[in-house]
Amino acid sequence: MKPLRKTTHVRNPLSSTMLASSSTDLDLPLDDVVIVFACSENFVPYLSVAIQSIVENVSPDRRYDIIVLTRNITPASMITLTRQATSDNVGIGFLDVDAALGDIELPHHGHFRPETYFRLLAPQLLPNVDKAIYLDSDLIVDADVAELYDTDVTGYPLAATRDADTIGQIEGYDATVGPYLKDELGMDDPHDYFQAGVLLMNLAELRRTVSPREFLRLSTLRMWRWLDQDVLNRVVNGHYVRVHMRWNYLMDWQHLRRTHIIANAPADVRAEYEEAAANPAIIHFAGPDNRPWLYPDADRAELFWRYAMHSPYLDEIRGQLEESRASVKGLAKRLQVIVLYKGIMPAFDRTCPAGTRRRAAVIRGYMGLGGANL
């Protein structure tokens, strides 16, 4: 294991007055539905939309406490989110991850950001909470999230959905994925790989079985292909409660995920994904591009904008959309997306069909040039 590199974080000193270092310091009851996010200042507008979707679907008979793990959300943003989330049965608090991380620099690549690792710190940062839902910030909740929270995870570290996208890759779309999960990640059955953007975490069980130091050691052991999601799958190795994909419906990214990737998965995976698409409880806008705040024609973008209309960041989100359509940088990015996902990828699928040796050879060559880190 290589020595961990050190990094210096420049932060607004005022933010420390609004950040707690542990859930025991929060003025929240934490006695019913606990929801955890991890977010940076740049992603706050989309976090706001996710929170709005939760608030609009809560049950009046339950209590919901939202905890945001962060290192750089500004006091102004914390105040805005607090005003948005606070009601008779919804509260919000913010936890500082810096003390838990120390000087560790978390490896990341592509569209991923270091905040993705923060969920691994939840057992440590929430010592008085035994169970919590973790949610990525690039999603909306279109149902009462308490239904997911009530899933029984006794004896298991977490509950999650199988990753239909990854299973489709295993079954022919990308022949390198199966061997990677089995030989490098150490999974007994790669088909058990779960998607970590929506988790019901049994924090008490995780504290009992995995130390914070071990989570961080694994995170920095190497550049994992899907970062902390791989770390969690390595630790859990298929021993988790499976929940229906409607609780983590992966949007039909670029309108290719369903027909080109998941189409290769076994029949039961395809059927569950189609059921989730027909009745999603959580819509996860997962992928390197095609996010609804930049592409209003993306799958389920209309639901994102329905909740965004009630977000205090609506004007900012609209402004970013317009800038992406009008600026030179934004137009160049859109052209790049069109060329790659509407031209190169479909052409590659035609000349190198899924499951063929030719496709496997090309992908292995691409990976050998560092493709996994792009």
Summarize pLDDT for 69-84 with one digit per residue, the tens. 999 999 999 999 999 9
- Output the pLDDT for position 288: 81
218: pLDDT strictly greater than 60: yes
Residues whose CB falls within 8 Å of the CB of residue 167, separated by 6 or more in sequence, listed in order: 191, 193, 262, 265, 266, 269
Q: Where are the domains of the chain?
A: 13-330
Helices vs strands, H then E, count in the chain = 16, 10
3-state SS, residue 86: coil
CB 202 within 8 A of CB 152: no
Return d(Cα 140, Cα 296) in angstroms, integer.
15
What's the pLDDT band for 374 if we cut at 50, 70, 90? Answer: very low
CB 129 within 8 A of CB 28: no
Tens digit of each residue's pLDDT (9 = 90 or more) over 5-25: 333 333 444 444 578 999 999
DSSP assigned state of 338 = I
Q: Find, among 343, 295, 340, the residue nearest to 321 by Cα.
A: 295
Burial degree of 212 (CB within 10 A; 0-12, 13-18, 19+): middle
Average pLDDT over residues 193-210: 97
Give me the DSSP letters along 345-364.
HHHHHHHS-TT-HHHHHHHH
13-330 under CATH 3.90.550.10, yes or no: yes
Which tokens go with 164?
Answer: 């239909």
Return d(Cα 91, Cα 34) in angstroms, integer.
10
CA within 13 Å, CB half, 199: 30
Residue 281: C-alpha distances to residues 122, 131, 175, 246, 275 (Å): 24, 20, 31, 5, 11
Which tokens go with 221?
Answer: 């052991």
3-state SS, residue 299: coil
What's the pLDDT band for 109 if we cut at 50, 70, 90? Answer: low
- Output the pLDDT for position 253: 92
Q: Report the b/e string of 65-100 with b at 16+ CB within 10 A.
A: bbbbbbbbbbeebbebbeebbeeeebbbbbbbbeeb
Give me the DSSP letters along 46-84.
HHHHHHHHHHTT--TTS-EEEEEEES---HHHHHHHHHH
Which tokens go with 290?
Answer: 């095609």
Average pLDDT over the chain, rounded to an integer: 89
1: pLDDT strictly greater than 60: no
What's the pLDDT band for 369 if we cut at 50, 70, 90? Answer: low
3-state SS, residue 18: coil
In the chain, where does DSSP find H-type helix?
A: 44-55, 75-85, 98-101, 122-125, 146-149, 164-168, 177-179, 203-209, 212-219, 227-236, 267-278, 301-308, 314-326, 328-337, 345-351, 357-368
- Output the pLDDT for position 12: 42
Average pLDDT over residues 57-73: 96
